[in-house]
Amino acid sequence: MKPESGARPRKRRHYMMAMVLGTALSAFGQSAAQAAPTEAIQDISRYCTACWRNARLPADRWGDCTQEVFRRLLDRVPTEDWNRLLNGEGEERREFLRAIDAVKKRTQRDSRRNVNLVSIVPDSRDSDLRQRAVDREAVAQAADELLSDRQKQILQMSFEGWSVQDMADALALPAERVSDEKYKAIRKLRTHFCQEGCG
């Protein structure tokens, strides 16, 4: 039996979060792992993912970035205080935001350095990959012109494998609204490309 489309990404996210946290906590022994509240860890991971997405960091780096934030938190903030990182304005929250900012900036610098290397040695072996990249660029450009910020965000999350319910939870919207915005976004893009192809 084939799993539901939303089941696999959710399972993968939970696995990734467990891997990230397990690696970070292993350096600090069992007592740190027991003190870290699971709900706070999940909230921190979701917050980090939203930050990486908003900063347009490469998706294949998100797990490493989140792991680095956890590593910094373990060095600087007691795990029993993690449930205060997203609520309030204390020193713990400032430390959390500094960790996110430092990781984001370092990753952006690394990405800029790597762009030059990639452009020097283009991969000409696979024209199919190049065509897909061209198609993705056309969709991204059309999305920038036609869709609202919310619709672009929902469509991007959908491409990344988020289920409608997960998106609704992350965006604090009713699932029906998320589904409606996703439908409208796809309809706008379809109409645009149909007119372009017919014209």
Q: What is the pLDDT of residue 177?
A: 92
pLDDT in tens, the chain (199 residues): 444 444 455 555 555 555 555 555 554 444 444 455 678 888 888 888 888 888 888 888 888 888 888 888 888 888 887 877 777 777 888 888 888 888 888 888 887 766 555 455 555 556 677 777 777 788 788 888 888 888 888 888 887 888 889 888 988 999 999 899 988 988 888 888 787 665 5
- Residue for token pair 């979701």: 46
Cβ neighbours for 76, distance < 8 A, ≥ 6 positions apart? 95, 99
**With the C-alpha atoms ordered 69, 71, 77, 78, is the resulting torsion angle positive or negative?**
positive
The pLDDT tens digits of the residues spanning 43-77 come to 888 888 888 888 888 888 888 888 888 888 888 88
**Ranges of each domain in the chain:** 7-120, 127-194
Q: What is the pLDDT of residue 22?
A: 57
Distance CA 30, CA 32 (A): 6
**With the C-alpha atoms ordered 110, 113, 115, 120, is the resulting torsion angle positive or negative?**
negative
What six digits make up the tokens of 7?
A: 């089941």
Produce one character per residue of 76-102: b if its CB has 16 or more CB atoms within 10 Å, e if not: ebebebbbbbeeeeeebbebbeebbee
Distance CA 125, CA 150 (A): 37
**With the C-alpha atoms ordered 90, 92, 94, 100, is the resulting torsion angle positive or negative?**
negative
Q: What is the pLDDT of residue 33?
A: 45
Distance CA 74, CA 66 (A): 12
CATH of 127-194, one of 3.30.830.10, 3.40.1190.20, 1.10.10.10, 1.10.3720.10: 1.10.10.10
Alpha helices per DSSP H over the chain: 7-26, 29-35, 38-54, 62-76, 91-120, 127-146, 149-159, 164-171, 175-198
- Residue for token pair 């988020």: 162
Its pTM stands at 0.43
Helix (H/G/I), strand (E/B), else coil: 157:
helix
